[in-house]
Amino acid sequence: MQNFIRLRGKQKRVFYKIVVVGTGGNGSHFVRNLCQISRTFMNAEGYKENVVDISLVDADRVEAKNLNNQIFSSDDIADYKVEALAERYGEHYGLNIKNVTEFIKEEAMLHKLFHVGDVDQDYYQVIPVLVGMVDNNKSRQLFHRFFHDERVENLLYLDAGIDGIVHFEKQSLTREQRIEQELSGFSGQIVLGLKWAGEVILPPITEVFPDILNDIRTAFPGESCGELVLNNPQRVMTNQYAAQLTTGYINNLYQQQWIFTSATTFNAQFVGARATFLTDEQVQRFKDAVEAKQA
């Protein structure tokens, strides 16, 4: 039997607190998927008393160049991405989606976004989910600090990352360079970090790829690194693949609060994905953390 973790508590119903940061190439496709499965989930018999609370966070506005690989129309140009998505898919799927037209640069803002207010936690089990759809390591470093903050007892941190297309400055390419360019920009990975009952059960992306924490040249969106940064274009199929795989993680949480895998690597050109399944040690760590909390 496949190893899995089930985040089911003693409460009758679940309150999913989902914060999506970044609504560009990966994020815009993911938001559409998220809204659809959220409505399907809440309409299903036996799940109607559960709550899905969604917040979208991004200060970017829609530009003409975004129409190639992001889910926006020409009517959205100059609008905030989060507002365009919240209005379109919130209305279509009957969801009240919150939107924040700011870049997250402080840990305090994350604490505020995940505040659940007057939710009755004797009746609802709160499952906080941070979905990182960002393309910079500065934001991931901030998410890392939030993940490990002692005030954060429970958190699922999903991060979707993809490779850019390789570019060569010279106009005339060798055969090998041309092949390398044509094969690039299709791969990526989804990593799930899990902190539960105050214990790190599954490491976040910043520990799976520790070079992220050592990146001192990175900057928050809207900030300059002090040097020219080439913005590699993304392939729309890669964005869609990343979004779909991330949606799969959320779907398992919706159905039975299941976690089967800690990461998924993929290549959209080869139409393939490979999952990293949970180990016996990780499952036991989760059980020990829950038992210690209940003791």
Pairing between β-strand 155-162 and β-strand 124-132 as defined by DSSP bridges? parallel
Closest CA to 13 of 98, 119, 150, 171: 119
166 SS3 class? coil
Q: What is the pLDDT of residue 170?
A: 66
Q: What is the pLDDT of residue 229?
A: 38
pLDDT tens per residue, the chain (295 residues)? Answer: 689 999 988 888 999 999 999 999 999 999 999 999 999 999 998 888 899 999 999 999 999 999 888 999 999 999 999 999 999 999 999 999 999 999 999 999 999 999 998 999 999 999 999 999 998 999 999 999 999 999 999 999 999 998 877 777 767 778 887 777 777 789 999 999 999 999 999 999 999 999 999 988 888 887 654 443 344 566 899 999 999 999 999 999 998 999 999 999 999 999 999 999 999 999 999 999 999 988 7
Full-model pTM: 0.93
Q: Which amino acid, 31?
A: V
- Topology of 13-294 in CATH? Rossmann fold (3.40.50)
Domain boundaries, given as residue ranges, for the chain: 13-294
190-242: per-residue pLDDT in tens? 999 999 999 999 999 999 999 999 988 888 887 654 443 344 566 899 999 99
